[in-house]
Amino acid sequence: MSHFTKVQTQINDLVALKKALDQLGWKYRVAEDNQKVTVRGYKGQTTEAELCIDMGKYDIGVIKTETGNYELVSDWWGVETTKGLTEAEVVKEINQKYAYQRVVAAVEEAGYTVDVNNVAADGTVKLNVSKWG
């Protein structure tokens, strides 16, 4: 019986996801040349993914779905017991940093520069941007 559980996300940009993981300081491995990386789970069980987030003894896999979005697959119990983060906490952290990276990329694509980046006590991020021209 598999202990892997999938979580649907709205993540569809692997570059922004990798930047979000870098921002979180989480190590990950990316599949190369149309190969997959191995995701570790309970009692040596494994599954395959496009990207594998190292959470200690257990991993979180990032798998592309037919819709083009990515889903997260993991033995969430294992992640919580080794990393101390619940599934909901992990997904929230990834989604927050991912959304930030997407906004910054859109701002820069539009020709703006991020001048100030403030994070309020409640986690709200405020960006001040400018454009010369």
Distances 22 to 3, 30, 68, 98 between C-alpha atoms, Å: 27, 13, 22, 10
* pTM for this model (two decimals): 0.88
Low-confidence ranges of the chain (pLDDT < 50): 1
Q: What pLDDT is stored for residue 133 in this prediction?
A: 66
Q: What pLDDT is stored for residue 46 in this prediction?
A: 95
Q: What pLDDT is stored for residue 118 in this prediction?
A: 77
**What whole-number distance in Å separates Cα of residue 111 and Cα of residue 71?**
31
> What's CA 46's distance to the chain center, in Å?
19
Neighbours of 120 (CB within 10 A): 8
In the chain, where are the structural domains located? 5-130
Q: What pLDDT is stored for residue 71 in this prediction?
A: 97
Interval 25-35: pLDDT, tens: 999 999 998 89
Q: What pLDDT is stored for residue 13 in this prediction?
A: 95
